[in-house]
Amino acid sequence: MKRVFSVVLLLATVMMLGGCYDYSEPDEKAWILALGLDKGRQNVLTVTAVIAIPKAIAGGGGGEPAAGGAGGGTFFIVSMETPTLLSFLELLDTVVDRRADMSQTKWLVCSRELAEEGIGRYFGPVTRFYQFRRSAHVVICEGRAEDFLEQGKPILEDNVGKYYELLMRGWRYTEFIPFDTFHFLHLKSNTIGVAPVAPLAALNRKEPVYDDNTPKPKGAYQAGRLPRRGGGEIEVMGGAAFKAGRMVGTLDADQVGVQKMFFGNLKRTIMDVPDPEHPGFFIIVDVKPRYNPRVDVRIGEDDLPEISVEVGLEGTIMSIQSGEEYETPDRLPVLEQAVERAYLEDINKTVAKSQALGADFLGLGLHAKKLFLTWPQWVAYDWDTKYPDATINVSVDYRVRRVGLIHETVPLK
Amino acid sequence: MSRFKPVMGVSEGITLLFIFISAKVFLAHVTFILHDGMNASWVIPIINTLIGLLGVLLLVAVLNGHPGKDLVEIGEELAGPYINTLFSLFYLAVFVIGAGFTLRFVSERVVAGFLPDTPISMVTLSFLVGTVTVAYLGLEAVSRTARFLVVVLVVSTLALVVLTIPFWQGHVFYPLLGAGVWDVLRGALTTTGNYVQILLLGIIYPFLPQGKARLVGVWGVLIAGFFFTILVVVPLLIFTFPTVTEMSLPTFEMSRIINIGRFGQRMEVVFLPIWVFSNMIFMAVSLYAGAAVLARLFKLGDYRPFVLAVTVFTTVMAYMPLNSPQASYWNHDYLSRYSFYVLVLIMLILLLAARLKGKGGAKNEKGV
């Protein structure tokens, strides 16, 4: 019994040895909730950290609105000039009394300017660092990331980390926010036959975006070009397409929706469809995928891909502005065809954009690789070069399943 | 072997064997397989398992001819003391090299992922204290510890797999043949060493119920093969080729990526017991088996004086590589590649010697 006790005591003692070196109290850490990257002014990079003030979060912000800078809010900002992203962590320890820790980081924000030069060298290698998590989001912002993070204060949340997380979770409720986390962004960056799309974000633009009130599809907006007043300073809408670690263009909100649909990440969207019989009026329908797009790829005689895509959608009539009776079974096809035309236009524009950028962000190459027997054969085909010249035909099939709470519209008198 | 002859049930034997074979899947070994087969790497563990099964049948054929004796004693009887010394040194090398590199890997892993400021010597020490204690207490302690922990291991591993389903991507299986038929086959044939640990069956054979060695061997290899295969397929499904090849610890990354809402993140700590328990069992088995081989070699009845000696060998082996990548590559080059063929060669020599001497070889499971 004495021996057993001695062994147990020895084991317990040994297991506690780690505490002699890696003793770490959560309230002695500076939790970095977001990191911003800009082109440096005095060094290679300007790195900005959003650091939580836990006692303010626990106390509900002390009645103050969440604020950055030196304000009495729930986070503060530090920007420093550094040669690399991770060297910033050590520099931060000279400024912040608590040890900086990235393991709660939700956002890696990169300025568009830097993204267009290429961010592969900054973000790819960070996966090696144990504090970093692939579940973080890479966000591309218009303007400088340091301004974006400093002014991007939450309104509903005391915890800015929760704010970042919930804002990105919007991908479930709107087609306008890309789904890809760092994990998917990184995979798509490394794989042939697909290109990544990162969320595009910006601060609220105060001045008007458009000069007139002509109809504009809501999906034509993107971050930084969203006409609005009020709300938080940050808006996330649209995407930044990447190729070989470099941002090559932006996608508007509708194009992001199409991209998500091709990957099966589109839950539902609301479409404003021009009324085919009443110009100037809209039919508003709810649209959700019936099945993942069926993609058929073959290699033509000219060695170029010939791709046909079949998109199946279904949904509900939400509103008919004109009061036209489209709800009856014999009239529903008119409405369905109008939706199909509108959606097809969105898809064709997105496909054209993808080919113009030479970035297969729709992932059509992932279907094409099924045609090849071995990986070396697939690599040798050189999809990225052939994709811009591919022939792509898309067909859309939309079915109205429900008509909402109104059985038949009574026209206005 | 010791003052008391240990007793081991079939389920304990199977558990011990499959954990001993498959514990390495939680370390860097998978990465080499993923390099060899590209996106068709999942075929490699299946081929390896089939080859492992053949190896087990061969081993059982040798063992069944000599009931109550382990592989070292059988070698002594059939090949003579001099040749058998070479064979035994090979067995010892398998256990010591395997334990040494595993000790290094698992310590490096703890330092890399959990305790970055703790000296690796301290981590190594904490692993050694536990495993040496269990190994010193003998085969019964080792096998019952394994039997007790296997539920935690299997349930945690399956939970780890299931929780990553949202990240699976079906396109990874294409192009179907991956690196190509010959390259995949070459990958399989040059990683058969992953099953050299079937050697354990030859050491624990005298303690298994009579006539159950084949059952233990076949099930041990099949279950190990199952875990090998899913822990190659699942990282492939999640991280896709070629990204998956850049990871040093694919199963660790699997646990880090789990995301169940805002509060279901940072789950690697929940799965920490998988890596710690499986590798500690591996270490304890290796230390015991190494000591048992030495005891037989020196014709001593008690293995225990050799446990500390094997521990010293193991620790020296763990610190021979200058860094963690070197440990990975050395383990792959010296243990995972061709060691299985050496074992097969020894089995064939023993079978041939038995045939020539007219001893064993042709007997059935019950040794008659």
pLDDT at A62: 47
pLDDT at A71: 43
Vertex B66, ends B62 and B68: CA angle to 5°?
Answer: 125
Has residue B286 been placed in a domain? Answer: yes
Helix (H, G, I), strand (E, B) or coil at A99: strand
Whole-angstrom CA distances from B8 to A274, B144, B207, B208 are 77, 9, 6, 5
pLDDT at A227: 83
Judge whether A188 is closer than 8 Å to chain B, CB to CB.
no
Q: Which of A1-10, A121-130, A352-361, B74-83 has the lowest mean pLDDT?
A: A1-10
Q: Which amino acid is at B292?
A: A
Cα separation, A400 vs A397, in Å, equals 10
pLDDT at A173: 85
Q: In sequence order, what are the residues at sequence separation of 6 or more whose Cβ sits closer than 8 angstroms to the Cβ of residue B29?
A: B194, B331, B332, B336
The answer on A359 and A337 residing in a single domain is yes
The answer on A235 and A344 residing in a single domain is no
**Average pLDDT score over residue span A100-128:** 86
The answer on A232 and A94 residing in a single domain is yes
Cα separation, A151 vs A69, in Å, equals 9
pLDDT at B26: 80
Judge whether A11 is closer than 8 Å to chain B, CB to CB.
yes
Q: For residue range B137-162, list pLDDT tens digits in order.
A: 888 888 888 888 888 889 999 999 99
Has residue A203 been placed in a domain? Answer: yes
The answer on A186 and A122 residing in a single domain is yes
Query: In the predicted model, is pLDDT for residue A11 greater than 70?
Result: no
Has residue B5 been placed in a domain? Answer: no
Has residue A119 been placed in a domain? Answer: yes
Which among A375, A377, A379 is the top mutation candidate for probing chain B, defined by the most B β-carbons within 10 Å of its own β-carbon?
A375
Distance from A63 to chain B by nearest Cα, in Å? 24
Q: Count H helices, E strands: chain A?
A: 14, 13
The answer on A161 and A234 residing in a single domain is yes
**Average pLDDT score over residue span B175-200:** 91
The answer on A272 and A254 residing in a single domain is no
Judge whether A282 is closer than 8 Å to chain B, CB to CB.
no
Average pLDDT, chain A: 86
B240 to chain A: which residues are within 8 Å by CB? 187, 190-191
Has residue A21 been placed in a domain? Answer: no
Query: In the predicted model, is pLDDT for residue A69 greater than 50?
Result: no
Rounded to 5 degrees, φ, ψ at A68 are -95, -155
Cα separation, A138 vs A133, in Å, equals 11
Has residue B263 been placed in a domain? Answer: yes
**Average pLDDT score over residue span B309-335:** 91
CB contact under 8 A, A191 and B113: no
Q: How confident is the model at residue A7 (pLDDT cuts 50, 70, 90)?
A: low
The answer on A243 and A180 residing in a single domain is yes
pLDDT at A372: 94
Query: In the predicted model, is pLDDT for residue A40 greater than 80?
Result: yes
Name the closest residue on chain A to residue B136, using Cα atoms. A7
Has residue B2 been placed in a domain? Answer: no
- What are the DSSP calls for B43-65, one per residue? HHHHHHHHHHHHHHHHHHHHHHT
Domain count, chain B: 1
Q: How confident is the model at residue B368 (pLDDT cuts 50, 70, 90)?
A: very low
Q: How confident is the model at residue B307 (pLDDT cuts 50, 70, 90)?
A: very high
pLDDT at B96: 94
Has residue B362 been placed in a domain? Answer: no
Average pLDDT, chain B: 88
Has residue A395 been placed in a domain? Answer: yes
Query: In the predicted model, is pLDDT for residue B367 greater than 70?
Result: no
Query: Residue B177 maps to which CATH number?
Result: 1.20.1740.10
3-state class percentages of chain A: helix first, strand second, coil last, to nearest 5:
35, 30, 40
- What are the DSSP calls for A258-291, one per residue? HHHHHTT----EEEEEE-TTSTT-EEEEEEEEEE
Has residue A177 been placed in a domain? Answer: yes
Rounded to 5 degrees, φ, ψ at A298 are -140, 160
Q: How confident is the model at residue A3 (pLDDT cuts 50, 70, 90)?
A: low
Distance from A369 to chain B by nearest Cα, in Å? 6
Has residue B365 been placed in a domain? Answer: no
Domain count, chain A: 2
Query: In the predicted model, is pLDDT for residue A301 greater than 70?
Result: yes
Query: In the predicted model, is pLDDT for residue B78 greater than 50?
Result: yes
CB contact under 8 A, B129 and A103: no
A374 to chain B: which residues are within 8 Å by CB? 175, 177-180
**Average pLDDT score over residue span B164-191:** 91
Q: How confident is the model at residue A59 (pLDDT cuts 50, 70, 90)?
A: low
Q: How confident is the model at residue A63 (pLDDT cuts 50, 70, 90)?
A: very low
pLDDT at A35: 93
Q: For residue range B344-365, list pLDDT tens digits in order.
A: 999 999 999 988 887 655 455 5
Judge whether A137 is closer than 8 Å to chain B, CB to CB.
no
Has residue B366 been placed in a domain? Answer: no
The answer on A282 and A188 residing in a single domain is no
Cα separation, B55 vs B67, in Å, equals 19
Judge whether A155 is closer than 8 Å to chain B, CB to CB.
no
Has residue A112 been placed in a domain? Answer: yes
The answer on A341 and A399 residing in a single domain is yes
Which among B167, B243, B257, B265 is the top mutation candidate for probing chain A, defined by the most A β-carbons within 10 Å of its own β-carbon?
B243
The answer to whether the Cα torsion of A42, A48, A53, A54 is positive or negative is negative
Cα separation, A138 vs A240, in Å, equals 10
The answer on A411 and A281 residing in a single domain is yes
pLDDT at A116: 92
What ipTM is given for this predicted complex?
0.86
pLDDT above 90 coverage of chain A, percent: 42
* Host domain of residue B345: 10-357
**Boundary residue ending a domain (A192, A226, A259):** A259
The answer on A274 and A189 residing in a single domain is no
Q: For residue range A240-263, list pLDDT tens digits in order.
A: 999 988 999 999 989 999 999 999
* Host domain of residue A391: 268-413
What are A133's two structure tokens?
């998590």
pLDDT at B2: 47
Q: For residue range B200-259, list pLDDT tens digits in order.
A: 999 999 888 888 889 999 999 999 999 999 999 999 999 998 999 888 888 888 888 888
The answer on A76 and A191 residing in a single domain is yes
